[in-house]
Structure 1
Amino acid sequence: MKALVLAAGSGTRLRPVTHTGAKQLVPVANKPVLFYALEAIAQAGITEVALVVGPSSDDIKDAVGDGSAFGIDVTYICQDVPLGLAHAVLISQDFLGGDDFLMYLGDNFVGGGIAGFAEEFRRTRPGAQILLTPVPDATAFGVAELDGDGRVVCLEEKPAVPRSNLAVMGVYLFSAQIHEAIREIKPSARGELEITHALQWLIEEGREVRSCLHSGYWRDTGNVSDMLEVNRHVLDAATGEIAGEVDAESRLTGAVLIAPGARVVRSDIEGPAVIGPGTVVTGSRIGPHTSIAADCEITDSRIDGSIVLQGSTVRGVPAVTASLIGRHTTVTSAPAGDTAHRLVLGDHTRVTLAR
């Protein structure tokens, strides 16, 4: 079995952070969300992996390399224009050949991994298999209707009146039958080749499309609120480790990870939280549920429930909460009152906040 990881999306819902970087590389708990997907694929016993990349291909290639760090062998396939998930499969046929394959959307976070999902497919060998999860409001998702044996009988994309509460997650398993289906479908109204249309074609042709229910944690990290929620979830399971320097005037409570080369001076850090290598925290209160990346400077500030990306500075800011701060960003305070600020800042940004 091979794997196809889709990482060509432009990340419009995460702008301005993704104007200058791939959305799949935005970190949660100081690790790019794409890395969690690659680790899950390796844990499922799949080693031949193709990454479908777009405009941010150089960033992804620099981060992932040949895949050896994950125990996989990575091939890169360029999708110049995002013309749909099925189009990504279409342009990857030379890599896929006639083999079974897993397709994984690179900005999805699936708690508990996918090894069981893949093993079920290997055992039953249907034409296709999709991963489903119950959601409170299915109108924002692709929705599956099942028969009594767990076979998919209908798929709808963002229906006004859903037939079920089962949302289609961004993880699929396919036999070579999917290539025939993709050749038969036409572009949708938005001009894309939809994978749901290809799956529906298989169903209508009498091919077996099965499902697995995922009862664990899952998020599509395509927007800021979901990115922060995944960061919170991952940090809740983290353990603390002090590999950097913490002075005697500082206080750490809960699970706090201080990376090598980081320094904490006269500061309180409440876990779960992670401080990246080379970062200096001085006279500040950090956490809980906060990730500070490498080479940042946090001085005389309070940050909680947030993600701060590499090389950023936060100085003299009394309250930053539920924020995603981009790379090489500077946030400082101007004289005035004391308020809480909610920020989504792009790379190389400078902001002065009124107190």
Structure 2
Amino acid sequence: MKALVLAGGSGSRLRPITHTSPKQLVPVANKPVLFYGLEAIAEAGVTDVGVIVGDTGREIREAVGDGSRFGLRVTYITQSAPLGLAHALLVAGDYLGDDDVVMYLGDNFVVGGISGIVEEFRAQRPDAQILLTRVDDPTAFGVAELDGSGRVVGLEEKPARPKSDLALVGVYLFTSRMQEAVRAIRPSRRGELEITDAIQWLIDRGCDVRSTTISGYWKDTGNVLDMLEVNRSVLDTLEPGMEGKVDRASEIIGRVRVEAGAEIRRSRIVGPVVIGAGSVVTESYIGPFTSIADNCRIEDSEISFSIVLENSLIDGVRPIEGSLIGRNVAVAPAPRTPAAHRFVLGDHSTVHISS
């Protein structure tokens, strides 16, 4: 079996963060979300991984390298444009050959990994195995319809009138029969080769398509709120550690990890919280479910339920919560006079102001 990890796409719902970094490399608990997927694949005993890349391929290659840090052998496959999940399988056809494949969307997060589902697939080898989860708004996902016995009888991509609340999770397992399916289908009205159409092609021809409905935690980290929720979930399992310096005037409560080279001065930290290497927190409050990346400075401020990326400064601002703050950002109070707001904002920014 090989793995195919999709790490292309523009990440439009995470702009402006993704103007300068691929969405798969936005960190959760100070580790890129893509790395969690690669670790899950390695834990499942799959070592050969094809990584689909697009316009952000250079950044993905620099972050992942040859895969050896994860115990993997990585091959990069370029997709000319994000033309659908089935299109990614199509362009990876030469790499996959006749091997079975587990396809993993690089911006998805599945708590508990995929070892169990991979083991089940290897033992039973249906033509396709999909993961499903119940969602509140099925119109935003690929949706599966099951018969009375739980067999998959239909799939539809982002339906206006969903036939169920069972959404496809971004992990799929296929035999080489799927290669025939992706070559046979045609682009949808969205101009993409839909994975739901390819799986439906298998169903229509009597192939063995099975599903597993997961009850554990799954998120597509495509927007800020979901990214913060995944950060919260990961921090809930945080192993505390004090490799950095914490002075006697500071208070540490709960599960807190202070990385090597970080310093906490006259501050209160209430976990779960992770403070990255080289960061300095001074006379501040860091509240639960917050990740501070490397080489940040937090001074005379309060922040909770947030993610702060590398080399950023928060000085004299309180309180901050539910925020995703990018790299090399400075957040500070506005001058008292003149009584006007002044901004330098990137494309697609959202600003909330109390006045």
What CA distance in whole angstroms lies between the structure 1 residues aligned with 2:257 and 2:77?
A: 36
Shift in alpha-carbon separation, 1:354–1:249, aligned structure 2, 3 A: farther
What CA distance in whole angstroms lies between the structure 2 residues aligned with 1:140 and 1:354?
A: 32
Name the residue aligned to 1:285.
Answer: 285
Amino acid of the residue matched to residue 70 of structure 1? Answer: F
What CA distance in whole angstroms lies between the structure 1 residues aligned with 2:248 and 2:41?
A: 43
Task: State the Cα distance separating 1:162 from its structure 2 match.
Answer: 2.1
Name the residue aligned to 2:194.
Answer: 194
Work out whether residues 334 and 354 of structure 1, in 8 Å CA contact, stay in contact via their aligned partners in 2: no
Percent identity, please: 63
Name the residue aligned to 2:178.
Answer: 178
Whether 1:159 and 2:159 are equivalent positions in the alignment is yes
Work out whether residues 143 and 166 of structure 1, in 8 Å CA contact, stay in contact via their aligned partners in 2: yes
What CA distance in whole angstroms lies between the structure 1 residues aligned with 2:354 and 2:264?
A: 26
Name the residue aligned to 1:60.
Answer: 60
Shift in alpha-carbon separation, 1:346–1:204, aligned structure 2, 3 A: same
Q: Deviations over 1:98-140 (max 9, x none)?
A: 1000000000000111111111111111111101112233222
Amino acid of the residue matched to residue 77 of structure 2? Answer: I
What CA distance in whole angstroms lies between the structure 2 residues aligned with 1:190 and 1:258?
A: 46
Give TM-score, length-normalised by structure 2.
0.94
Task: State the Cα distance separating 1:149 from its structure 2 match.
Answer: 4.0
Task: Say which is worse superposed, 105-114 or 150-159, in terms of deviation.
Answer: 150-159
Give TM-score, length-normalised by structure 1.
0.94
Task: State the Cα distance separating 1:320 from its structure 2 match.
Answer: 1.0
Q: Deviations over 1:241-267 (max 9, x none)?
A: 111000111111010000000001111
Name the residue aligned to 1:247.
Answer: 247
Name the residue aligned to 1:41.
Answer: 41
What CA distance in whole angstroms lies between the structure 1 residues aligned with 2:39 and 2:30?
A: 15
Task: State the Cα distance separating 1:56 from its structure 2 match.
Answer: 1.2
What CA distance in whole angstroms lies between the structure 2 residues aligned with 1:294 and 1:129?
A: 39
Question: Is there any run of 5+ residues in structure 1 with no aligned partner, and where?
Answer: 338-344
Task: State the Cα distance separating 1:239 from its structure 2 match.
Answer: 2.2
Whether 1:235 and 2:226 are equivalent positions in the alignment is no
Name the residue aligned to 2:319.
Answer: 319
Task: State the Cα distance separating 1:150 from its structure 2 match.
Answer: 3.3
**Partner SS for 1:76:** strand
Name the residue aligned to 1:131.
Answer: 131
Name the residue aligned to 2:83.
Answer: 83
Task: Say which is worse superposed, 327-336 or 101-110, in terms of deviation.
Answer: 327-336
What CA distance in whole angstroms lies between the structure 1 residues aligned with 2:26 and 2:346?
A: 12
Shift in alpha-carbon separation, 1:141–1:354, aligned structure 2, 3 A: closer
Name the residue aligned to 1:220.
Answer: 220
Amino acid of the residue matched to residue 100 of structure 1? Answer: D
Shift in alpha-carbon separation, 1:123–1:150, aligned structure 2, 3 A: farther
Q: Deviations over 1:27-63 (max 9, x none)?
A: 0100100000001001111000011011111111111
Task: State the Cα distance separating 1:270 from its structure 2 match.
Answer: 0.6
What CA distance in whole angstroms lies between the structure 1 residues aligned with 2:61 and 2:185?
A: 32
What CA distance in whole angstroms lies between the structure 2 residues aligned with 1:194 and 1:114?
A: 23
**Partner SS for 1:187:** coil
**Partner SS for 2:87:** helix
Task: State the Cα distance separating 1:335 from its structure 2 match.
Answer: 4.3
What CA distance in whole angstroms lies between the structure 1 residues aligned with 2:118 and 2:354?
A: 52
Work out whether residues 101 and 175 of structure 1, in 8 Å CA contact, stay in contact via their aligned partners in 2: yes
Work out whether residues 157 and 194 of structure 2, in 8 Å CA contact, stay in contact via their aligned partners in 1: no
Whether 1:51 and 2:51 are equivalent positions in the alignment is yes
Task: State the Cα distance separating 1:161 from its structure 2 match.
Answer: 2.8
**Partner SS for 1:171:** strand
What CA distance in whole angstroms lies between the structure 1 residues aligned with 2:27 and 2:131?
A: 24
Shift in alpha-carbon separation, 1:63–1:24, aligned structure 2, 3 A: same
Q: Deviations over 1:191-250 (max 9, x none)?
A: 111111111111111111111111100000000000000001111111211110001111
State the 4+ residue runs in structure 1 displaced beyond 6 angstroms: none
What CA distance in whole angstroms lies between the structure 2 residues aligned with 1:14 and 1:236?
A: 23
Name the residue aligned to 1:342.
Answer: none
Work out whether residues 325 and 346 of structure 1, in 8 Å CA contact, stay in contact via their aligned partners in 2: no
Amino acid of the residue matched to residue 116 of structure 1? Answer: G
What CA distance in whole angstroms lies between the structure 1 residues aligned with 2:72 and 2:12?
A: 29
The number of residues matched between the two structures is: 345
Task: State the Cα distance separating 1:336 from its structure 2 match.
Answer: 5.0
Task: Say which is worse superposed, 80-89 or 6-15, in terms of deviation.
Answer: 80-89
What CA distance in whole angstroms lies between the structure 2 residues aligned with 1:274 and 1:23?
A: 21
What CA distance in whole angstroms lies between the structure 2 residues aligned with 1:49 and 1:307?
A: 29
Question: Is there any run of 5+ residues in structure 2 with no aligned partner, and where?
Answer: 338-344
**Partner SS for 1:103:** strand
Work out whether residues 307 and 323 of structure 1, in 8 Å CA contact, stay in contact via their aligned partners in 2: yes
What CA distance in whole angstroms lies between the structure 2 residues aligned with 1:36 and 1:182?
A: 28
Cα RMSD after superposing both structures: 1.8
Work out whether residues 300 and 316 of structure 1, in 8 Å CA contact, stay in contact via their aligned partners in 2: yes
Name the residue aligned to 2:168.
Answer: 168
What CA distance in whole angstroms lies between the structure 1 residues aligned with 2:316 and 2:188?
A: 51
